[in-house]
Amino acid sequence: MDRGVTAVELTGAEIFVRCLRDEGVEYLFGYPGGAVLHIYDALYKQEEVKHILVRHEQGATHAADGYARSTGKPGVVLVTSGPGATNAVTGIATAYMDSVPLVVFTGQVMTSLIGDDAFQEVDAIGITRPCVKHNFMVKDVRDLASIMRKAFHVATTGRPGPVVVDIPKDITAHKTAYVFPKDPTLRSYKPVREGDPAAIRQAAALLVSAKRPMVYAGGGIVLGNAAPELTALVRYLGAPCTNTLMGLGGFPATDPLFVGMLGMHGTYEANMAMHDCDVLLAVGARFDDRVTGDLDKFCPNARIIHIDVDPASIQKNVPVEIPIVGEAALVLRDLLAALQATDSAPDKAALAAWWRLIDEWRSRQCLNYDRANIEVIKPQFVLETLYRLTRGDAYVTSDVGQHQMWAAQFYKFDKPRRWINSGGLGTMGFGLPAAIGVQLAHPEATVACVTGEASIQMCIQELSTCKQYDLPIKIINLNNRYMGMVRQWQEFFYQSRYSHSYLEALPDFVKLAESYGHAGLRIDKPQDVEAALREALGRRDRLVFLDFITDQTENVYPMIAAGAGHNEMHLATDRELA
Amino acid sequence: MRHIISILLENEAGALSRVAGLFSARGYNIASLTVAPTEDPTLSRMTLVTSGSEEIVDQIRKQLNKLVDVVKLVDLTDDDRIEREMLLIKVCAEGGERDEIKRLADIFRGRIIDVTDRAYTIELTGDGSKLDAFISVLKSRRILEVVRSGVIGIARGNGACVAETP
Ligand SMILES: Cc1cc2nc3c(=O)[nH]c(=O)nc-3n(C[C@H](O)[C@H](O)[C@H](O)COP(=O)(O)OP(=O)(O)OC[C@H]3O[C@@H](n4cnc5c(N)ncnc54)[C@H](O)[C@@H]3O)c2cc1C
Ligand SMILES: Cc1ncc(C[n+]2csc(CCOP(=O)(O)OP(=O)(O)O)c2C)c(N)n1
Ligand SMILES: [Mg+2]
């Protein structure tokens, strides 16, 4: 039979599965319940769409999210009504804040019961409205295929984001003929792709005139697959390039033009260069408050060019001189062409002076830490060793806290889609389920989940999912017995009153891992770090939980306190304002 | 500054709450909002009056445009435009008051649309300031009820805020 069309009538549940297949969906992350049992029955009867059974619906959304971030393809989720939908909300909001394409299907009570406070009824459309790109309720089985098609289209185009489709149970039993709609376009939704040529020419002229140019590139480079175009442009300009937390890997971290991450825990050189630059090219970045610090002190001397596919990201927090709406890859390509077409070239002498200044800042070695310590494991050392042993080629997921910042600082990502973390919402519990999605998408790759003893416990149940699907994830638990990031703020801003940031009654993580059928190792001496990592990385077939007992009071440096300027950094060496 | 924005949106359940939710979630002001289906039953017309600095109103327009249900948006503020609002007002009218209230209604080109032995109900359209003025003239009487529709607006001339036909 022809793909995409059936002559016989199918049930809504069968159409659901056919649509997923015709969209090319590989994995469906889900958890069953009453409202979606017809769909689960249809899934049972086929093998093309593989269902991954998680242990909590939050895990399903994060796993789909990890799959999406590491592949660029949409992550797909199926949960039941009521508590299934509410459990999924944290993961939906996480994807929303970081612009990750997800399509989340929530079961709903029968159409005739909606609004009656029926068993396991929640207004999933209402609850998710503020944290989705769009959502749909299916009211007629004849609309199901076209709504699903639109959901995938909206989730994956323009500025990507999660889309929720709420499907009442009766719709999944009703029958109709199945046609896979060819054209998913909506009259009210037409994202801009190409940048305005006049603005691009203006931007090129401004860039060549710069004496102290700076490139600030964010998650939009990764989301928009624009790393090659960005790299080519930055190299042409010979300008310093910084990435946001979400943009890491968008420009090769080992390139000499890379000055590290910027922002609250960014490098000294990146933040100082932001402060002193005269022309700033911002691409696929949204001027988040963790990046800008005090807006009044932000880039005081710079004329700003901003490229973003979402017009609402431009001029939202910071006024810019040249706004360009469009896909990063296409605009950067055209911008490079425009630069090459101008008669003037970047000012070599000015650039050389600019780099001398930057090299001075670099020489402060702001990421230095006590490497010589042989008493206690420094968390940075674990990550440096992980980087060395994996040759920078692993997929690294992370939870939220100090460990996340150290991973961002010490694992040098040369490729996009390798660094998978929750930046916008900062969701503890993200790391392990995200690693599930990444490992499924890249079965041969090394996937490391960098986490903390507090974060890992928020979705620890997914160790069971890892066992079921034989996922050989390496869990790097930087166990400081503290909610370290919270403790750090309490040390700095609350005179060391450690209110509820100390974790007592921690589980024995080694035994915990073993009880789930995995291997566990506890490491408490710096000398054992490398051997343990080698052993874990060598076990291609098993999940290994590495419980590193790390320095309890290590802090993340540099640090810009909320509301301070880029030139007002705390550094580790002098613990003073730079 | 006050802005009047005309929006065509998909006539679907939930479209209105997306707009209202956007305003409450982002802390924008809504002074008034009117909505009704258009001659094309798949579309609704919404007229929204808001206020804020230019930067905020710029964000409001962009965020509204970003809603997938919004088909077209025009800010009428800078256009030569016609604004109308309707007022239905019920006021005590007894004895000697009756003639005087009728005269006042005539002066404002209002129409008495319901009469009892104790009250008049008057209909009046115009821009907001005219309605305000009429209400304040009646302030010295006993006003029983005031119902205002919220503002609708349209640009003068040939330009039109309509959906592009495919
Ligand atoms: C504990 C903690 C500490 C943090 N500290 C820092 C820090 O020190 N430094 C830091 O940078 N962040 C930090 N963050 C992260 C921060 O909160 C934000 O999530 C992050 O800065 C946003 O990154 P971004 O600007 O690249 O935007 P993203 O959220 O990645 O948004 C992407 C932007 O690109 C646009 N876009 C998407 N696709 C395309 C395309 N195809 N073409 C063009 N544009 C596109 C989008 O419209 C959007 O504007 C921290 C987070 C946590 C949890
Ligand atoms: C779900 C959730 N709750 C609370 C927070 C606030 N928070 C941010 S970091 C952090 C502590 C994380 O501790 P841990 O996982 O041990 O990491 P560490 O900072 O010690 O490396 C907390 C509680 C959060 N980001 N997410
Ligand atoms: Mg900790």
Residues B61-115: pLDDT tens digits? 999 999 999 999 999 998 899 999 999 999 999 998 999 999 999 999 999 999 9
Tell me which of A169, A180, A409, A410 is the catalytic residue. Answer: A169
The answer to whether A194 is a known catalytic residue is no
Residues of chain A whose pLDDT is less than 50? 1-2, 575-578
Q: Which of B21, B63, B163 sits opposite A187 (nearest CB)?
A: B163
A 10 A CB-CB count for A364 gives 18
Using CA positions, which residue lies closest to atom 53 of ligand 1?
A426
The answer to whether A119 is a known catalytic residue is yes
- Percent pLDDT > 90 in chain A is 94
> At B166, is the pLDDT very low, low, confident or very high (cuts 50, 70, 90)?
low
Own/partner contacts of A198-205, CB < 8 Å, gap of 24 or more, are A199/A322, A199/A323, A199/A324, A200/A324, A200/A331, A200/A334, A200/A335, A200/A338, A201/A338, A202/A322, A203/A281, A203/A305, A203/A322, A203/A324, A203/A335, A203/A338, A204/A335, A204/A338, A204/A339, A204/A341, A204/A342, A205/A342
Residue from A485, A498, A552 to probe ligand 2 pocket by mutation (most atoms less than 8 Å from CB) = A485
- 3 state SS of A418: coil
CA-closest candidate to residue B63, choices B25, B107, B11: B25
pTM: 0.97
Choose from A108, A152, A188, A313 for mutation: most chain B CBs within 10 A: A188
Q: Which residues, in sequence order, are CB contacts of B60 under 8 Å at separation 6+?
A: B3, B5, B23, B28, B50, B52
Q: Judge whether A126 is closer than 8 Å to chain B, CB to CB.
A: yes
Q: What spacing in Å lies between the alpha carbon of A24 and ligand 1's midpoint?
A: 29
Contact A311 B17 (CB under 8 A): no
A149/chain B closest Cα distance in angstroms? 15
Q: What spacing in Å lies between the alpha carbon of A460 and ligand 2's midpoint?
A: 14
CA distance A570 to A134: 41
CA–CA distances in Å: residue A458 to residues A29, A364, A399, B77: 18, 37, 10, 50
Q: Please state the rounded mean pLDDT for residues B123-142.
A: 95
CA angle A416, A274, A97 (to 5 degrees): 45
With CA atoms as reference, the chain B residue closest to A153 would be B68
User: With contact defined as beta carbons under 8 Å apart, do B146 and B89 qualify?
Assistant: yes
CA-closest candidate to residue A92, choices A424, A324, A415, A510: A424
B107/chain A closest Cα distance in angstroms? 45
Q: What confidence score (pLDDT) does residue A1 get?
A: 42
The answer to whether A202 is a known catalytic residue is no
Q: A255: buried, middle or exposed (CB in 10 Å: 19+, 13-18, 0-12)?
A: middle
Q: Which of A125, A189, A316 sits opposite B68 (nearest CB)?
A: A189
Q: What confidence score (pLDDT) does residue A576 get?
A: 43
Q: Please state the rounded mean pLDDT for residues B133-162.
A: 93
Q: What confidence score (pLDDT) does residue B165 get?
A: 67
DSSP conformation class of B74: E
pLDDT at residue B120 is higher than 90:
yes
Residue-wise pLDDT for A127-178, tens only, equals 999 999 999 999 999 999 999 999 999 999 999 999 999 999 999 999 999 9
The answer to whether A137 is a known catalytic residue is no
Token pair 């939870």 in the structure block, residue: A399
CA-closest candidate to residue A75, choices A163, A201, A158: A163
Q: Judge whether A187 is closer than 8 Å to chain B, CB to CB.
A: yes
User: With contact defined as beta carbons under 8 Å apart, do A534 and A542 qualify?
Assistant: no
Own/partner contacts of A46-54, CB < 8 Å, gap of 24 or more, are A46/A17, A46/A21, A48/A21, A49/A17, A49/A20, A49/A21, A49/A25, A50/A26, A51/A27, A51/A78, A52/A27, A52/A28, A52/A436, A52/A440, A52/A465, A52/A469, A53/A465, A53/A468, A54/A29, A54/A30, A54/A433, A54/A436, A54/A462, A54/A465
Q: What confidence score (pLDDT) does residue A562 get?
A: 83
Pairing of strands B2-10, B70-75: antiparallel
Q: Judge whether A256 is closer than 8 Å to chain B, CB to CB.
A: no
Residue-wise pLDDT for A31-45, tens only, equals 999 999 999 999 999
A 10 A CB-CB count for B118 gives 12
Contact B69 A310 (CB under 8 A): no
CA–CA distances in Å: residue A366 to residues A60, A361, A369, A408: 38, 9, 9, 14
Instruction: Find the residues whose C-beta lies inside 6 A of ligand 1.
Output: A 98-99, 159, 218-220, 223-224, 244-247, 261-266, 284-286, 288, 290-291, 308-310, 313, 327-328, 400, 404-405, 423-424, 426, 485
Pairing of strands A75-79, A419-420: unpaired
Structure tokens at B89: 């007002």
User: With contact defined as beta carbons under 8 Å apart, do A151 and A105 qualify?
Assistant: no
Ligand nearest to the Cα of A449, by number:
2
Q: What confidence score (pLDDT) does residue A570 get?
A: 87
Which residues in chain A have their CB less than 8 angstroms from residue B21's CB? 129-130
> At B132, is the pLDDT very low, low, confident or very high (cuts 50, 70, 90)?
very high
A 10 A CB-CB count for B115 gives 12
